[in-house]
């Protein structure tokens, strides 16, 4: 029994190092800025927000993000596709500055600050969503917090940023961890994100978990 306890404690420590532990909205309080702006915000990388890099986008760069919402979507599903496209643009702009554009690994690598875990990804995505929302680009959705799912024993602990449909309050996971770097992240019902890992993402909602096995 004593050996089992030691192994469990070691596993817990490894997961903490990997960065996808519990208390996801505590991560927002600890790492996120309440009012990020395109000209002044920070992003997390290096696992568990070990590194915070300040970013200042130019007006032209932010206009590229705005262009993803033209013309205005006439349906909530259309707006979710626009949100995903805008996040892909932001990740590319940020990645060019931080070196995080490379395909990411899930395994902890404390010496590589270009890697992202699900804390980095979810906090950064919440920041991007908040900037989109504050600029009036999200008309049919609102930004929620982060969601946590998975099991310590099954090694599936994870976090994601969440948006809600304004008319119904229906929550959707926005999870770039399920997409290759620079690709629009899948946005799909949070209930599906909770149900299994990797999730069975419906057609048309983005993401290719089967092609990103070293990320999940």
Distance CA 105, CA 97 (A): 19
Distance CA 117, CA 62 (A): 25
Cβ-Cβ contacts under 8 Å for 143 (sequence gap 6 or more): 126, 129, 130, 133, 161, 162, 163
**Most distant CA pair in the chain, distance:** 62
pLDDT number for residue 101: 87
Span 10-24, pLDDT tens digits: 333 333 434 454 456
Distance CA 94, CA 204 (A): 26
Between the CA atoms of 90, 91, 94 and 99, what dihedral angle is there, to the nearest 10 degrees?
-160
Span 36-48, pLDDT tens digits: 999 999 999 998 9
- What residues does 164 pair with on adjacent strands? 142, 171
Q: What's the token pair of residue 140?
A: 């049919």
Quick one: what percent of the chain has pLDDT higher than 70? Answer: 77
DSSP designation for 49 = T
Span 94-111, pLDDT tens digits: 999 999 987 666 555 566
pLDDT number for residue 109: 59
Give one word for 186, left, alpha or beta, with left for phi > 0 and alpha for psi -120 to 50.
Answer: beta
Distance CA 46, CA 136 (A): 31
pLDDT at 62 > cutoff 80: yes
pLDDT number for residue 151: 64
- What residues does 55 pair with on adjacent strands? 41
Question: Other CB atoms closer than 10 Å to residue 77's CB: what's the count?
Answer: 13
Query: Full-prediction pTM beyond 0.75?
Result: yes
pLDDT at 54 > cutoff 50: yes
Residue with tokens 């395994």: 107
Residue with tokens 């989109």: 132
pLDDT at 154 > cutoff 70: no
**In angstroms, what CA-CA distances link 80 with 41, 68, 71, 168?**
23, 11, 13, 15
**Nearest alpha-carbon partner for 107 in 94, 99, 120, 116:** 116
């Amino acid at each position: 029994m004593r050996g089992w306890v030691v192994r469990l404690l070691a596993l817990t420590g490894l997961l903490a190092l990997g960065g996808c532990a519990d208390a996801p909205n505590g991560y927002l309080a600890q790492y996120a800025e309440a009012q990020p702006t395109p000209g002044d915000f920070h992003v997390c990388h290096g696992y568990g927000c070990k590194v915070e890099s300040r970013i200042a986008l130019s007006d032209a760069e932010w206009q590229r993000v705005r262009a993803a919402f033209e013309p205005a979507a006439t349906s909530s599903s259309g707006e979710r596709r626009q949100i995903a496209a805008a996040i892909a643009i932001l990740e590319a702009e940020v990645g060019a500055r931080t070196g995080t554009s490379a395909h990411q690994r899930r395994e902890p690598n404390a010496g590589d600050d270009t890697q992202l875990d699900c804390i980095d990804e979810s906090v950064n995505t919440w920041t991007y969503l908040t900037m989109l929302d504050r600029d009036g680009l999200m008309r049919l959705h609102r930004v929620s917090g982060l969601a946590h799912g998975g099991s310590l024993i099954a090694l599936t602990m994870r976090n994601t940023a969440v948006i809600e449909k304004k008319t119904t309050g229906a929550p959707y996971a926005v999870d770039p961890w399920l997409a290759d770097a620079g690709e629009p992240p899948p946005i799909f019902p949070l209930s599906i994100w909770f149900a299994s890992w990797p999730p069975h993402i419906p057609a048309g909602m983005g993401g290719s978990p089967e092609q990103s096995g070293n990320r999940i």
